[in-house]
Amino acid sequence: MEDIVVKRIDITDPIYTQVYDLREAMLRQPIGLSLKNEDLSADALNAIFIAQQGDKVIGCVMLYPIADEEKIKLRQMAVHEEWQGKGIGKKLVDAAEHYAKEIGYSAIILHARTVAEGFYKNLGYYTTSSEFTEVGIPHVVMEKDIF
């Protein structure tokens, strides 16, 4: 796995199209939705992290500034199914946390699908809400202090 590179990009990077495609395939199509029907203008405000093998994006996650000076929101985590369970998600979250801390945030929040709650708990996140429905599936709010 030495050939896996994790780096930050923005929407002007040509590889962003692969991020879009990965999000579509892993996050939207399985639940009968499409990014084509969503307003993605906020993507420009995100710090986008990708895991890349060669010229292929195999994972992504985004950090989105919210109206809280202490917290930033982690969102749109996706790892290609062939790479799940191999530490790619952890590498992406680690990179996002390091960046968030570096730019002055003290906590990260996220809306985790309940099926992913254990993944985030293993990374030190704790659940701060009851279950709720978002994009038609169960989620919980989770948070982690990063100071």
pLDDT digits (tens, 9 = 90+) for 48-103: 999 999 999 999 999 999 988 899 999 999 999 999 999 999 999 999 999 999 99
CATH ID of 4-145, from 3.40.50.2000, 2.30.36.70, 3.10.20.340, 3.40.630.30 = 3.40.630.30
Minimal CA–CA distance to 98: which of 23, 47, 31, 27? 47
Averaged pLDDT, 33-38? 90
Element spanning 99, H or E? helix 88-102
Using one digit for the tens of pLDDT, what is the confidence trace for 15-26? Answer: 999 999 999 999
Give 128-135's long-range contacts (Cβ < 8 A, gap of 24+): 135/31, 135/33
Q: What is residue 37's predicted lDDT score, i.e. its pLDDT? A: 85
Q: What is the pTM of this model?
A: 0.94
Q: What percent of the chain has pLDDT over 90?
A: 92
Q: What is residue 38's predicted lDDT score, i.e. its pLDDT? A: 87
Give the residue extent of every domain in the chain. Answer: 4-145
Minimal CA–CA distance to 140: which of 122, 113, 116? 113
The distance in angstroms from the start CA to the end CA of the chain is 29
Q: What is residue 68's predicted lDDT score, i.e. its pLDDT? A: 85
